[in-house]
Structure 1
């Protein structure tokens, strides 16, 4: 029995143990042609075997989602496709539940980290606004007081992914939040702590970095940055512990 696929239909093409987002470019004469979103072209005969290799794409994968926990297509191809679509729209952050997936844009994005954006995310709980690293930092800072317990943010990724920059952004946000309603002297002390932590990183990295194909200054060790807060929520101090991997 032959199967027919309408031209322009968006599907998942299972090829070499991968799910490739694809479009039916033509279908007729017992032959069907696909073009993947990555420029690959595949041609198959229309038969039952072809039907097993082709899966309908759910609307959530076609339109894209901010939280990939809501994706109906549950496979690696759907995750990569969703991240790729958002990346092309300069949306470099995507949630998987309470986990934030970020992609290095390798270019400045206007307004992404300015003061207005920080103020915006200070007014929302995690998941109430678009995915952003400030949302993670805000949730971590607020949970210190909601749960009266230590909080931790784990930043992981390959060389050149932007781990160091993400750390700086979290420090920038927490420092800004801890300075609210303080007198100028106290604000200066908090800024000095933040600056000392940021300036110590290049010194540490000078002893344990190496060049990779993605990054000329890649860390060969892990870092644990600890911030200490007073009961009023202000930064009192901090330290960095390194761990050779």
Structure 2
């Protein structure tokens, strides 16, 4: 294993029952100095080394991937490390097969959701462009006509993760697609039902701030949103239904501070 321990090599270190992404700072025949990505220096004797305590990091984990189903190392540390690598480059979206993982950036990212981004993702199928919530919205919109069946998007995450914002972005994209399919002049689009749905954002946020007998900050308050499309592809109507996710057998595994949004296209 000595070839894996050259200076600068990227490795996984098992330390206190946790896998830590680390870099080899120096090594000789008797000892090894590692620096974890969290800034901690760890000294190891060569006699302590084995495949359980230290092993080389796969290139897919070193550079990061857009789709984590392609990671060669499928463990929690590799997943979190990949998300961090992308997050540090303002790539807040990452695919896991057909699932999209989003990390709240807590800051604006220029050009991420502007009109050019909507136009770009509306012209490509999922997988042709970097992961994005617009890619999910476009795939659902396309599948309405390709499969002739209703589509569902499930948005789930911890409190403050950005579920309501993600829902608003889905509405924004679908609103533009609906207006494009209707072929209406730009001057007439402001009166359409799509605008009413987009303007419902404050109401959606009010749902999230409601108080229930189970939790003061409504952490188990879910929303069921349904949109109805015509055969021409434009939105004809929709509804927002609030629901409390009680601890039943069906939702027994939902974390205490997690809420869910069901987004139905039909």
- TM-score, length basis structure 1: 0.90
Q: Answer whether contact 1:209 1:219 (CA < 8 A) is retained.
A: no
1:221 touches 1:243 (CA, 8 Å); kept in 2?
yes
Measure, in 1, the Cα distance between the counterparts of 2:209 and 2:160: 16
Task: Tell me the number of residue pairs that the alignment of Structure 1 and Structure 2 aligns.
Answer: 240
Deviation at 1:63, TM superposition (A): 1.2
Question: Do the aligned partners of residues 228 and 22 (structure 1) sit closer, same or farther apart at CA in structure 2, a change above 3 Å counting?
Answer: same
> What is the CA–CA distance in structure 1 between the aligned matches of 2:60 and 2:195, rounded to whole Å?
46
Deviations 1:143-190 (A, max 9, x none): 111001110111111111111100000000001111004224466223
Which residue does 2:262 correspond to in 1? none
- Residue 31 of structure 2 is matched in structure 1 by 31
Q: CA deviation at 1:217?
A: 6.6
2:18 maps to which residue? Answer: 18
Does the CA-based 8 Å contact 2:209-2:218 persist in structure 1? no
CA contact (8 A) 1:197 1:240 kept: no
Please state if 1:92 is matched with 2:95: no
Deviations along 1:81-113, whole A, 9 cap, x unmatched? 111011111111110111111111111100000
TM-score (norm. length: structure 2):
0.83
Greater shift after overlay, 188-197 or 22-31? 188-197
Q: Residue 153 of structure 2 aligns to a residue in which SS?
A: coil
- Residue 198 (structure 1) aligns with: 201
Residue 182 of structure 1 is matched in structure 2 by 183
Greater mean alpha carbon deviation, residues 91-100 or residues 13-22: 13-22
Query: Relative contact order: is structure 1 or structure 2 higher (C-alpha 8 Å, sep ≥ 6)?
Result: 2
Are the aligned partners of 1:190 and 1:234 in contact in 2 as well (CA < 8 Å)?
no
How do residues 164-243 of structure 1 correspond to structure 2 at under 5 angstroms? 164-180=164-180, 181-184=182-185, 185=188, 188-208=191-211, 219-243=219-243
- Residue 7 of structure 2 is aligned to residue 7 of structure 1: yes
Partner of 1:108: 108
Cα distance in 2 for residues equivalent to 1:11 and 1:195: 47
CA distance in 1, matches of 2:156, 2:19: 25
- When structure 1 is superposed on structure 2, of 232-241 and 192-201 the one drifting more is 192-201
Worse-superposed segment, 174-183 or 193-202: 193-202
Deviation at 1:41, TM superposition (A): 2.0
Aligned match of 2:44? 44
Q: Quick check: 2:66–2:130 contact (8 Å CA) kept in 1?
A: yes
Gaps of 5+ in 1: none
What is the aligned partner in structure 1 of residue 264 from structure 2? none
1: distance between equivalents of 2:209 and 2:131? 33
Residue 233 of structure 1 aligns to a residue whose secondary structure is coil
Q: 1:178 to 1:159 in 2, by over 3 A?
A: same
SS in 2 for 1:168: helix
Alpha-carbon displacement from aligned partner over 1:186-245 (angstroms, at most 9, x marks no partner): 6622333313532421343443389x9xxx976440111111111111111111111113
More displaced stretch, 7-16 vs 102-111: 7-16
